[in-house]
Structure 1
Amino acid sequence: MSKNGLFLGIETVGTGTHPASWRRVDSGAEDLFTAGYWTAVVSAAEELGFDAVFLPDSFGIQAGGTAVTRGRLDAVAIAARTAPLTSRIGLIPQVPVTHTEPFHASKAVTALDFASLGRAGWEVTVSTADVEAKAFGRKDIQDRQSLWHEADEAVEVVTRLWDSWEDGAEIRDVPTGRFIDRDRLHYIDFTGDNFSVKGPSITPRSPQGQPIVTVRADDPESAEVAVRRADIIRITATDLPIATERRTALRAAIAATGRDPDTVQILLDLPVHLSDSVADAHTEVGELDGWAAQPHLDTDRLHHVGTAAGLDDVLAAITRSGIDGVVLRPLALHATLTALTAHRTKTEPGQLVDAGEIAAASPAHPTLRDRLGLPRPLSRYATTGAAL
């Protein structure tokens, strides 16, 4: 897997994005709900040189009945478990906001940033299904405009809470008995259409100050939130020219909000299945589709079914297109990790991302912001805002 300057992420959906991937003999499905499964997956991704792992989550059980993988562990909990066993890879769990209070999301991601020494991110998602609404019983299903307006407010609340403790608020002054400097804690006093939150957070400001916010620009509603709020925007496209057009349009929209487009990374989602040969890869996808009784891979979207060496060529083409990075979405997770690992062992030096080289070139504890080339922001309340 050739990095070619791209920011590389991998999305780990259970045993893979294909609903029948658990039936492969190499899937590891028997360990799916163990800590060992997830620590092995994330550690392997780090060893392969990925910049970040994206951990999906939802309040709804997977559709498809008994034939598909059903059940999931909490994404933030998975990320927290893998944090002390990794040192470089960014950990970006999804935290749905539709039925979650922003205060809880803020505290969870802040705690992950502490646990990972500054490698935490948050992928903002919404809950669209009636089954998710019924799981909470507090409100009915919402339309997308309402969902993403609520999500926009949730991100505003969360990021304000992340700033509500200034750096250095913990003074631990033994002689005076003061653990905190109250002048460096601030009310956020947010009132919107969906939330009214006074604050402050109960958790000190984390290593990154502001963990990285990710939003998928899947439609106009989510794209509007993405250009206003996200540090990472995920997109899909039918081909590379369309992907570059989307990037150009999103960068223009970001600039129109008054933000610097160069501070936002636009990543292309790339479904993949890797095997020893192109023919084997297509045969295996056919086997997966046969188990599921229907095709799963959207061949109208940019994807790669083939070898790890072929993936190098795809990533090189994406680099030349100007796209900032890629998120691999393996149809069968362990098959992809195995193929990439095998490819690494036989690739000539210099062609493959080497974790040792990354470690040597990085700070002792590189943050996710470091990997993205983003500075650590000052609290917005450092010079303004009501102290406690």
Structure 2
Amino acid sequence: MAPSTGPLHLAAAVDGTGSYAAPYYVELARLAERGTLDFITLDDSFGPPGEGSGRPDALAVLARVAPATERIGLVPTVTTTHTEPFHVSCAVATLDWVSRGRAGWTVGVSATEAEARLVGRRPAAPAAELWAEAGEVADVVARLWDSWEDDAEIRDLATGRFIDRDRLHYVDFEGGHFRVRGPSIVPRPPQGHPVVAVDATDPVTRDTAARHADVAFVRATTPDAAGRIRDELRLRAGESGRDPGALTVLAAVTVDLSDGEYAAGPGSARGPLTAVDDRPPLYRGGPVDLADLIAGWHTAGAVDGFHITPAAPPGDLERFVNGTVALLQHRGLFRTFYPGTTLREHLGRPRPANRYALAREGAR
């Protein structure tokens, strides 16, 4: 675990069980944007009541949030199980167009029999199989985004030509779970490839994260534990032919700032994290101690930043932005303005070249 030399990245979840009105999500997104956070996430699942549902469609909600915001990245969870990759590709590309280059998606899977029964296609599969399928979905989705070259649209009224067919490509993907011919019905997104995020806490997800993710979330209660996962992910990314530095690793933490400057636990000056089953570790304390924790983990090279889930939004998100983030900005550890307009620019990642355009140029 080497000391960090890169910028600090911060993101936040805007989940709110039982909240269906658009102004609720718009308010949270604008609050996060005032803090210049890289992006917000919104969770989703196919689960029936009592198993994670009771909320509107995450991707549709953030499509509504997009015109009400200007710079904040928008990253909904999109379930790959029981969902056609062609539809995933089109939906996320549309969000990128609606937001003018601020879209991403968190790869999700449906692991329960209850979710399988809702769709009625097949029984629930083991986790390893679900994540192998999710990796194939991420692969073919990126191919479909590239199936239109950037200059494929002609829009020539004089000749009546809308598309240059030489710049549309069949992806002809055949994997272990499906076949997709393509091309997409949506032009290549503004970012080329909207950002892909994966929760890489469970080892079964790490191959998919290392091969396909731009952002990986990890759950750990100590910087050493987080650093080990980060190092493993980057090693795997390099082994799969990727630039290990292209993977941004964020520590996922639930924050309860309701007690203000809550005293840290014995022997700790930074508000220790408490493990919580099936959820991010819990931080309960004050904004100042949380700023110290974030700065300490990042400076030590454990993670590239933090993904915060407010325990009680909007109050805890407001305390995080106006307290913790403001303090990090005052210390010069976090930016005070957005350096660009797209989510990839927030993360310091270049716009990917189109694989089919590169192949065509290479053939020349």
On whether the aligned pair clears a TM of 0.5, the verdict is yes
CA offsets 1:76-128 (integer angstroms, 9 cap, x no match): 11111111111111111000000110011000100000011101001101001
d(CA) in 1 for partners of 2:183, 2:121: 25
Q: Does 1:319 align with 2:298?
A: yes
Q: How far did residue 175 of structure 1 move?
A: 1.7
Match of 1:233 in 2: 216
- Range that drifts further, 342-351 or 223-232: 342-351
Could you say what secondary structure the match of 1:53 adopts?
strand
Q: How far did residue 342 of structure 1 move?
A: 4.7
Match of 1:336 in 2: 316
Q: How far did residue 277 of structure 1 move?
A: 2.9
CA offsets 1:42-78 (integer angstroms, 9 cap, x no match): 11111122111011000003537xxxx9611111111
Match of 2:26 in 1: 39
d(CA) in 1 for partners of 2:127, 2:53: 25
Q: Does 1:273 align with 2:256?
A: yes
Match of 1:56 in 2: 43
> Are the aligned partners of 2:325 and 2:334 in contact in 1 as well (CA < 8 Å)?
no
Which aligned pairs between 1:94-109 and structure 2 lie closer than 5 A?
Answer: 94-109=77-92
Match of 1:7 in 2: 9
Q: Do the aligned partners of residues 93 and 188 (structure 1) sit closer, same or farther apart at CA in structure 2, a change above 3 Å counting?
A: same
Q: Do the aligned partners of residues 187 and 305 (structure 1) sit closer, same or farther apart at CA in structure 2, a change above 3 Å counting?
A: same
> Are the aligned partners of 1:369 and 1:375 in contact in 2 as well (CA < 8 Å)?
yes
> Are the aligned partners of 1:185 and 1:200 in contact in 2 as well (CA < 8 Å)?
yes
Could you say what secondary structure the match of 2:88 adopts?
helix
> Are the aligned partners of 1:94 and 1:123 in contact in 2 as well (CA < 8 Å)?
yes
One-letter identity of the residue aligned with 2:337: I
Match of 1:76 in 2: 59
d(CA) in 2 for partners of 1:281, 1:74: 38
Q: How far did residue 380 of structure 1 move?
A: 0.8
Q: How far did residue 141 of structure 1 move?
A: 0.7
Q: Does 1:196 align with 2:179?
A: yes
Q: Do the aligned partners of residues 116 and 61 (structure 1) sit closer, same or farther apart at CA in structure 2, a change above 3 Å counting?
A: same
Q: How far did residue 303 of structure 1 move?
A: 3.5
Q: How far did residue 301 of structure 1 move?
A: 7.0
Could you say what secondary structure the match of 1:175 adopts?
coil
Q: How far did residue 218 of structure 1 move?
A: 2.7
CA offsets 1:187-241 (integer angstroms, 9 cap, x no match): 0001112111100000001100111111111323211111111111111113111
Match of 1:128 in 2: 111
> Are the aligned partners of 1:263 and 1:374 in contact in 2 as well (CA < 8 Å)?
yes
Could you say what secondary structure the match of 2:130 adopts?
helix
Match of 2:347 in 1: 372
- Output the TM-score relative to the length of structure 1: 0.83
Q: Does 1:186 align with 2:169?
A: yes
> Are the aligned partners of 2:38 and 2:347 in contact in 1 as well (CA < 8 Å)?
no
Q: How far did residue 321 of structure 1 move?
A: 1.9
Out of 308, 325, 331, the position equivalent to 2:287 is 308
> Are the aligned partners of 1:48 and 1:353 in contact in 2 as well (CA < 8 Å)?
no
Out of 135, 138, 142, the position equivalent to 1:159 is 142
> Are the aligned partners of 1:161 and 1:199 in contact in 2 as well (CA < 8 Å)?
yes
Q: How far did residue 157 of structure 1 move?
A: 1.2
- Range that drifts further, 166-175 or 216-225: 216-225
d(CA) in 1 for partners of 2:249, 2:283: 19
Q: How far did residue 5 of structure 1 move?
A: 3.3
One-letter identity of the residue aligned with 2:237: I
Could you say what secondary structure the match of 2:319 adopts?
helix
Q: Do the aligned partners of residues 310 and 254 (structure 1) sit closer, same or farther apart at CA in structure 2, a change above 3 Å counting?
A: same
CA offsets 1:239-296 (integer angstroms, 9 cap, x no match): 11111121112211111111111111011111210024344999xxxxxxxxxxxx99
Match of 1:137 in 2: 120
> Are the aligned partners of 2:143 and 2:171 in contact in 1 as well (CA < 8 Å)?
yes
> Are the aligned partners of 1:273 and 1:335 in contact in 2 as well (CA < 8 Å)?
no
Match of 2:158 in 1: 175
Could you say what secondary structure the match of 2:356 adopts?
coil
Please identify runs of 4+ aligned residues in structure 1 that moved more than 2 A.
61-64, 218-221, 275-282, 295-303, 340-355
Match of 1:288 in 2: none
Q: How far did residue 338 of structure 1 move?
A: 2.9
One-letter identity of the residue aligned with 2:284: V
> Are the aligned partners of 2:35 and 2:322 in contact in 1 as well (CA < 8 Å)?
no
One-letter identity of the residue aligned with 1:368: L
CA offsets 1:283-320 (integer angstroms, 9 cap, x no match): xxxxxxxxxxxx99459975420111221111111211
Q: Does 1:211 align with 2:194?
A: yes
> Are the aligned partners of 1:238 and 1:300 in contact in 2 as well (CA < 8 Å)?
no
Note the aligned Cα RMSD (angstroms).
2.7
Q: How far did residue 13 of structure 1 move?
A: 2.1
Match of 2:268 in 1: none
Could you say what secondary structure the match of 2:230 adopts?
helix
d(CA) in 1 for partners of 2:325, 2:343: 27
> Are the aligned partners of 2:78 and 2:107 in contact in 1 as well (CA < 8 Å)?
yes
- Output the TM-score relative to the length of structure 2: 0.88
d(CA) in 2 for partners of 1:141, 1:50: 36
d(CA) in 1 for partners of 2:53, 2:130: 25
Match of 1:20 in 2: none
Could you say what secondary structure the match of 1:381 adopts?
helix
Q: Which has the higher contact order (CA 8 A, sep 6+)?
A: 1
d(CA) in 1 for partners of 2:194, 2:46: 23
Q: Do the aligned partners of residues 347 and 14 (structure 1) sit closer, same or farther apart at CA in structure 2, a change above 3 Å counting?
A: same
d(CA) in 2 for partners of 1:345, 1:372: 17
